[in-house]
Structure formats: structure tokens, C-alpha cells
């Protein structure tokens, strides 16, 4: 491929373009009215305007994107993550237009896009599943039978869902009718599909995912695991690789299961198989994300691979250049998502003018961002400003390095999750590895950060007074 259009915006668009430039591939950016002056537009070799700021009128206009790509002689389209990245119809349209879709086949996207069809696809491989029903529930009577069979508490989940949408916990039978109706309504509103299914609710799980990579020649490998249990409202905030609780034996078992999930749909390219892990270290298949993940940099840090380059190579039909036995874990990596959200106000999203957004260069620290000082933060898109990623010789080194990077980061204009990230990294339960997806609910209170900030300001004020007094004393001595 000589020219690739990146059907996305912000940091992921820039991330893909940087690898393309390294490979000598020309890039085309797409942009909305709100992103006319965005960094990904400035960085690309060419850029095309899509439409107004709302994504429904710009970044989700697949037909316009394909038409623009054809007119510019594009060879392939990389969808990044979000937007059209898991849209099987868009992937098929790209292929039908004579271009490469840099991702899995439309068939794989379609099957794994539904949690019900995904469970059905992997059945033959003996993948561990959470107890429950892996088909759509159509009546309250059927839901009652399944709930009694698996035992309360249960989880009602949208088949086409993600990010906690269309998901309801039911603790007892008297709640079932109301919660099922709510789950179905939300699933229909967010995914245009009211299908839901029921499984046993695992109360305090770890969220562990396995990065897989597959080519068009039947080769599949796993690139180890990522720990993604620090979440708020089912959205990840801190990810690390490897996980502190995964043993070599469990890693091998999870890796095999993840590769089998990929084989079940003849997967091609980079994908992520997500698992829940209970307190006995039993793991259960959750879903497969048929795209590059936000947290892919931590995998790149510990393996030395460029996953975007791997995606492009696979799309071009090249076989993988390595086998499972060639892959090793090197050190430890942690990623903090820097979001324009206020942790003191229940992570309320914030928009505004980014007066300062500066990180000094620190060895083994990587910043993936679509923002810089002097830019406006648009209201129309995800509030993530950047990803701060570090790599250390071990987990302790990585934690300390990320704290140093947070302390060195200067942000003015909007509240961010930087202070929250530092709170987590310094918390005894995170340091010891004793945490799960309920970390924020169990350990975080907004006043914890407020008290820390007040303490820091007080120390700074005292130091300033001491410094001024000391300077005056020296002047007196000189006189």
C-alpha cells in the first residue's frame, strides 16, 4: 500500500499516521468542522473535509469517506478505534470499493459484534464461559427460569452492547421485570438492537484481556495480557501489562483460549479477547474487540512490536514474521488515560480552552495525544485528551516513573484525571495488586484528592514564605 486514509481523529489518527510515515506510506486525514485545526489534519499528507462537528454528520459518514478515498487513489482505510472500526457494513463497503480494510473481515466483525453470536462461535473450542444463557431472552418467563437456574445475583446484558450500556445487575427476583425492561430499552436506544441475555453476576472480578494477532495464512499468536480493572462506569482509566496476578500457567491457558476465539472466526489482524477473572483466578470469556484497543501501547512497550505496522502487514497479505516462541515479556508498562473530566465532580466531562498542555521529555515515557497548548476541546467527542504510557524494568519502576511523569505534566484550562491517576498509583491496594473492577467504588472519594491538593498548596505556600524570609535575612546580613 502506498496511500492510507485514516477514518478517525485525534490521538489514534496521529498514532496510525506516524507508523505510515515510518513505512513510507502517504496518509489522508478526514476532519469535521470542529477539527479543522486538529493535529492529525496538520500531520497528514492530504486532508478531506467531511461535514459538521457531530460525528453522525462527519466521522460516521462511511459512504462519504469511501468516496473521498477512491477519488484520492487510496489503497487502504484504517478505522482506528470507535466510530466505524467495528462496523461490518463499512468494512464490506471498503472491500467492495477495491480497497483494503485494515482490520478483520466483515464476517469476523459481524460475529464478534454480538455477544450472543460470539458465544455460539466459540462453543466448539471449550472456551470457559460465565454460567448463563447464550441466546437472546424474549420473555420475562424465560428470564425467570434462567435466573433461578444460575442463581442471583445475575447480570442482564445487551447482546450488541459495550461500555456498560444496556447492562443491569439484578439481586433478587422482585427486581427482574423492571431491570429487564430498562436493559432492553437502553440497548435499543444505543445499539438499535433490544436483544439481551443473562449470565451469573461475578461481583468482584478482574478485567484481563489478551492481545491477539493473526495473519491470512492461519497463523495466530497472543501478545500476552493487559490488566484493565481500574474503571469508572465500565470505562477503563488505567491499564498495565503484564498483570500482577497472572501466573505463567494461567497466561498460557488464557493465551490459548484467546487464539482459539480468533480461530473460531478465521480472524485477521490485531484483536483483543476480554476475560473476567474471579477471586479464585478462574477466567471467563467476555467478548472480542475486533480492532486496535485504546490501551495497545502497553503491549507495544513490553513486546517491542508496532501493532499498527503489524496490522498493515497483515492487510497486505504478509505472513507473521514471528512465532509464539519468539515472543517474550520485557519489563512492565502502565498507561493512564488523561481525560478532560473532573474526578471531584463524579468524573463530569469538561470542555474549554487548553491554555497549557506540556510534558517534558522523560526517558521511557510516551505521550499519545491529539492536543497541544492553545487548542479548544470540542464538546462533540470523547473527553480523552491523551494517553500517558511508561515502561520500566519492573512494576515498581513503572509506577514510580508514571508518578514522576504526572508530577511533571503541566495542564491549565480544564480539570483532568491526572491527580486521580496519581491517587491510584499511590494507593496500597494498587501497589500490592489487591484490586478489582470495584476499586473506585471501594477506595476512592473525591475528598481524597481535594485534601491532597490542599496539602500540596499549603506546603508550596509555606515554602514560598520560607524562601522569601530567607532571602530577606540574607539581604540584612549583606547590609
Binned at pLDDT 50, 70 and 90, residue 432 comes out as: very high
242 upstream amide cis, omega within 30 of 0 = yes
Q: Is residue 430 a part of any domain in this protein? A: yes
291 with 404, same domain: the answer is yes
Distance CA 215, CA 198 (A): 34
Please report the pLDDT score of residue 420 as a whole number: 97
Distance CA 258, CA 301 (A): 20
Please report the pLDDT score of residue 448 as a whole number: 82
The predicted model gives 139-146 an average pLDDT of 90
153 upstream amide cis, omega within 30 of 0 = yes
Residue 141's domain is classified under what CATH number? 3.30.1490.20
Q: Which three cell numbers stand for residue 380?
A: 462533540
Please provide the average confidence, as pLDDT, over all residues in the chain: 93
Q: Where are the strands (E) in 14-159, listed by range?
A: 26-32, 46-51, 76-78, 100-101, 154-158
Please report the pLDDT score of residue 206 as a whole number: 97
416 with 289, same domain: the answer is yes
Which of 9, 168, 291, 366 is catalytic? The answer is 291
Tell me which of 137-141, 191-195, 399-403, 450-454 is least confident. Answer: 450-454
State the first-to-last Cα distance of the chain, in angstroms, to the nearest integer: 75
Q: 365 pairs with which residues across the strands?
A: 390
Distance CA 407, CA 417 (A): 12
Whether residue 291 lies in the annotated active site:
yes
Please tell me which of 32-46, 117-131, 198-212 the model is most confident about, judged by mean pLDDT: 32-46
168 with 82, same domain: the answer is no
Please report the pLDDT score of residue 161 as a whole number: 74
Phi, psi of 342 (to 5 degrees): -105, 105
Q: Is the dihedral of CA 429, 244, 154, 160 positive or negative?
A: positive
Q: Which three cell numbers stand for residue 220?
A: 495466530
Please name the residues in contact with 41: beta carbons below 8 A apart, sequence gap of 6 or more: 29, 31, 35, 47
Q: Is residue 123 a part of any domain in this protein? A: no
Please report the pLDDT score of residue 295 as a whole number: 98
Question: Which SS3 state, helix, strand or coil, does residue 289 take?
Answer: strand
Q: Is residue 293 a part of any domain in this protein? A: yes
271 with 244, same domain: the answer is yes
pLDDT at 100 > cutoff 50: yes
298 with 222, same domain: the answer is yes
Binned at pLDDT 50, 70 and 90, residue 165 comes out as: confident
Residue 14's domain is classified under what CATH number? 3.40.50.20
The predicted model gives 149-154 an average pLDDT of 92
Burial of 135 (0-12, 13-18, 19+ CB in 10 A): middle
Percent composition of the chain: helix, strand, coil (DSSP 3-state, to 5)? 40, 25, 35
Q: Is residue 108 a part of any domain in this protein? A: no
Q: Is residue 213 a part of any domain in this protein? A: yes
The predicted model gives 350-375 an average pLDDT of 96
Residue 309's domain is classified under what CATH number? 3.30.470.20
185 with 285, same domain: the answer is no
Count of C-beta atoms within a 10 Å radius of residue 98: 9
Tell me which of 119-123, 220-224, 237-241 is least confident. Answer: 119-123
268 with 174, same domain: the answer is no
225 with 340, same domain: the answer is yes
pLDDT at 99 > cutoff 60: yes
The predicted model gives 140-145 an average pLDDT of 91
Per DSSP, 44 falls in state S
Distance CA 336, CA 162 (A): 21
191 with 220, same domain: the answer is no
Question: Which SS3 state, helix, strand or coil, does residue 100 take?
Answer: strand
Q: Is residue 115 a part of any domain in this protein? A: no
Q: Is residue 116 a part of any domain in this protein? A: no
Question: Which SS3 state, helix, strand or coil, does residue 236 take?
Answer: strand
39 with 137, same domain: the answer is no
Q: How many structural domains comprise the chain?
A: 3
If DSSP states are collapsed to H, E and C, what string results for 346-391?
Answer: CCEECCEEECEEECCCCCCEEEEECCCCCEEECCCCCCEEEEEEEE
The predicted model gives 361-389 an average pLDDT of 96
Packing angle, helices 446-478 and 418-426, rounded to 10: 100
> What is the span of the domain harbouring residue 159?
131-200
pLDDT at 459 > cutoff 80: no
Tell me which of 32-36, 187-191, 208-212, 237-241 is least confident. Answer: 187-191
Binned at pLDDT 50, 70 and 90, residue 103 comes out as: very high
Please report the pLDDT score of residue 460 as a whole number: 46
332 with 394, same domain: the answer is yes
182 with 312, same domain: the answer is no
Amino acid at each position: 500500500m502506498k496511500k492510507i486514509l485514516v477514518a478517525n481523529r485525534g490521538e489514534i489518527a496521529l498514532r496510525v499516521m506516524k507508523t505510515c510515515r515510518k513505512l513510507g506510506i502517504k496518509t489522508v486525514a478526514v476532519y469535521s468542522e470542529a477539527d479543522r485545526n486538529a493535529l492529525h489534519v496538520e500531520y497528514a499528507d492530504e486532508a478531506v473535509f467531511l461535514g459538521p462537528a457531530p460525528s453522525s454528520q462527519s466521522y460516521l459518514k462511511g459512504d462519504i469517506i469511501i468516496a473521498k478515498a477512491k477519488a484520492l487513489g487510496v489503497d487502504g482505510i484504517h478505522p482506528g478505534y470507535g466510530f466505524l472500526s467495528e462496523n461490518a457494513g463499512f468494512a464490506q463497503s471498503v472491500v467492495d470499493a477495491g480497497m483494503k480494510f485494515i482490520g478483520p473481515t466483515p464476517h469476523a466483525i459481524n460475529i464478534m459484534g454480538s455477544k450472543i453470536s460470539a458465544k455460539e462461535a466459540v462453543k466448539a473450542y471449550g472456551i470457559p464461559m460465565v454460567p448463563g444463557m447464550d441466546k437472546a431472552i424474549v420473555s420475562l418467563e424465560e428470564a425467570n427460569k434462567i435466573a433461578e437456574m444460575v442463581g442471583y445475583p445475575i447480570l442482564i446484558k445487551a447482546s450488541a452492547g459495550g461500555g456498560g450500556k444496556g447492562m443491569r445487575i439484578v439481586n433478587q427476583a422482585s427486581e427482574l421485570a423492571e431491570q429487564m425492561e430498562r436493559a432492553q430499552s437502553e440497548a435499543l436506544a444505543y445499539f438499535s438492537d433490544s436483544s439481551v441475555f443473562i449470565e451469573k453476576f461475578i461481583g468482584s472480578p478482574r478485567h484481563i484481556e489478551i492481545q491477539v494477532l493473526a495473519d491470512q495464512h492461519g497463523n495466530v499468536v497472543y501478545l500476552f495480557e493487559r490488566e484493565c480493572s481500574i474503571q469508572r462506569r465500565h470505562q477503563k482509566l488505567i491499564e498495565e501489562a503484564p498483570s500482577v496476578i497472572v501466573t505463567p500457567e494461567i497466561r498460557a491457558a488464557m493465551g490459548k483460549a484467546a487464539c482459539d476465539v480468533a480461530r473460531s472466526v478465521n480472524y485477521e489482524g490485531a484483536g483483543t479477547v476480554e476475560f473476567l477473572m474471579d477471586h479464585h483466578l478462574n477466567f471467563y470469556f467476555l467478548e472480542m474487540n475486533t480492532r486496535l484497543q485504546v490501551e495497545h501501547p502497553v503491549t507495544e512497550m513490553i513486546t517491542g512490536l508496532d501493532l499498527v505496522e503489524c496490522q498493515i502487514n497483515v492487510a497486505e497479505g504478509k505472513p507473521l514474521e514471528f512465532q509464539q516462541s519468539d515472543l517474550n515479556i520485557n519489563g512492565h508498562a502502565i498507561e493512564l488515560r488523561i481525560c478532560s473530566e473532573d474526578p471531584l465532580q463524579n468524573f463530569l466531562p469538561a470542555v474549554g480552552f487548553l491554555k497549557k498542555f506540556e510534558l517534558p521529555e522523560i526517558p521511557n515515557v510516551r505521550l499519545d495525544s491529539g492536543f497541544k497548548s492553545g487548542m479548544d476541546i470540542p464538546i462533540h467527542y470523547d473527553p480523552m485528551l491523551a494517553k500517558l504510557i511508561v515502561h520500566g524494568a519492573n512494576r515498581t519502576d513503572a509506577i514510580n516513573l508514571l508518578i514522576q511523569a504526572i508530577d511533571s505534566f503541566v495542564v491549565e484550562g480544564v480539570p483532568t484525571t491526572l491527580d486521580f491517576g496519581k491517587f491510584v498509583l499511590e494507593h496500597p491496594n494498587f501497589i500490592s495488586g489487591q484490586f478489582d473492577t470495584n476499586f473506585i467504588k471501594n477506595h476512592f472519594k473525591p475528598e481524597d484528592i481535594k485534601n491532597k491538593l490542599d496539602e500540596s498548596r499549603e506546603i508550596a505556600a509555606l515554602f514560598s514564605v520560607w524562601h522569601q524570609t530567607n532571602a530577606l535575612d540574607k539581604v540584612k546580613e549583606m547590609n
